[in-house]
Amino acid sequence: MIVLGFDIGGTKSAVLLAEVSNDQIHFFDRKEIKTTKNWKQMLEHLIVEGKNILKTNGKEDNDFKIGVSCGGPLDNKNGIIQSPPNLPGWHHVPILHYIHEKLGVWGKLQNDADACALAEWKYGAGKGYENLIFLTFGTGLGAGLIFNGKLYTGANNMAGEVGHIPLQDDGPIGYGKPGSFEGFCSGGGIAEIAKLKAKGLEAQGIKASFVKEKINNITTKDVAESAEAGNRDALEVFKISGKYFGRGLSILIDILNPEIIIVGSIYVRAGKFLKEEMYKEIEVQALESSRKAVKIVPAELGEKIGDYGAVVTALL
C-alpha cells in the first residue's frame, strides 16, 4: 500500500511518500517546509510537493492512502484542526476536506502524540509492551497513551494533553499557562528558561554563552550547542528543565503506572543534559513501586518518528 503522509509540526512540516508491505515501511521521498500561520498557503505548498514526489517516484497512477499527523486539539472524525496552541493562525482548519479537494483522496487525521505512540509501539521502542506513554517534547509537549494494548484517547479525544498540567504557580508559559509542564519541558519552554537566565547574567554584566544575537532570539538549539561545549550556564538551563521534567513524569508514573515512557525530539538529541535532574526528582516524587516498574527511553525511531506517525495514521 502506497501512503502519502503529512506531518504538521509547530516549527516545520513535511510531506512524505512511503510503501507499507509485510508490516514493513519503506520510505521513498520527503519534502520539508517551515510551518507558517497561513495554513492554506502552506498546505498548498505541501500538496504540490506531494504531487511532485508521487510523480518523481512513478507512483502518481497508484491507489494511495493519506495520513495526517498534527498537534491537538483535533476533531478526528470530521478532519478538523482545532486551534492548537503551537499552530497560531490554524483555527478550525478543515484539513482532510481541503486535501480531498486537491488530491481526490480522503485521508485520516490523528493527534501527533497518538500517532507517534502507535508508531513506537509497533515499530520502535514500545514493541512488546502493553502499557506505555509517548511524550513529544518538541515545540510543545503532548502524550500518546497505550493502555492494555489499546490507544486511549478519552471521552472527546483530548486524553494526553499533559502539557497543560501545572507544575508551579508561575514560570515559563506553555499551552497558555505559566508554570505548566509544557512551559518547562518543550522547545519553547527551554528557550524561555534560557532567556530568563541570560537576562539575569546580563544584569551582572555577563553575556550568556548561548546568546548569538539578541536574548529574545535564543533557541533551544542554541542552548544545546552551548551545553555540548560544556558551558555551565547552558547546562544549568537544562538542569531546570530536567528537574521539572522529572516532576511531571512522576505525576504520570503515579497515576498511570506505565511499563515504559518513550520520549521524542529534544530528549532524543539532548536527553543526556536532562537525565540527572530528571531521575533525582522522580526518586523523590514518584511512588517507589511504580518508578521501579517503568523504563524511560528516547524514541527509537528518532528523527523519523513523525514520518512513521503519519504513515501509521493512514492505516488506521
User: pLDDT tens digits, residue range 262-315?
Assistant: 999 999 999 999 999 999 999 999 999 999 999 999 999 998 999 999 999 999
**CATH top class, domain 125-300:** alpha beta
Buried b (16+ CB within 10 A) or exposed e, 111-129: bbbbbbbbbbbebbbbeeb
82-87: average pLDDT:
91
Interhelix angle 39-56/95-103, nearest 10 degrees: 40
* 232 contact partners, CB below 8 Å, separation of at least 6: none
C-alpha cell at 188: 519553547
Q: Tens digits of per-residue pLDDT, 204-248?
A: 999 999 999 999 999 999 999 999 999 999 999 999 999 999 999
Please tell me the distance from the alpha carbon of residue 131 to that of residue 252, in angstroms, as a whole number: 12
Q: Supply the CATH classification number for the domain 2-111+304-314.
A: 3.30.420.40
From the list 74, 145, 76, 75, the residue with the least C-alpha distance to 114 is: 145
- Which residue from 184, 188, 113, 183 is spatially nearest to 152, judged by alpha carbons? 113
For the cut 90, the answer to whether the pLDDT of residue 86 exceeds it is no
Tell me what pLDDT residue 272 has. Answer: 98
pLDDT digits (tens, 9 = 90+) for 58-69: 998 889 999 999
Q: Is the pLDDT score of 257 beyond 90? A: yes
Element (H, E) at 202: helix 187-202
Q: Is the pTM of this model over 0.95?
A: no
pLDDT band, very low/low/confident/very high, at 123 (cuts 50, 70, 90): very high
Residues of the chain with CATH 3.30.420.40: 2-111+304-314, 125-300
Beta strand residue intervals within 105-203, DSSP E? 108-111, 132-135, 143-147, 150-152, 173-174, 177-178
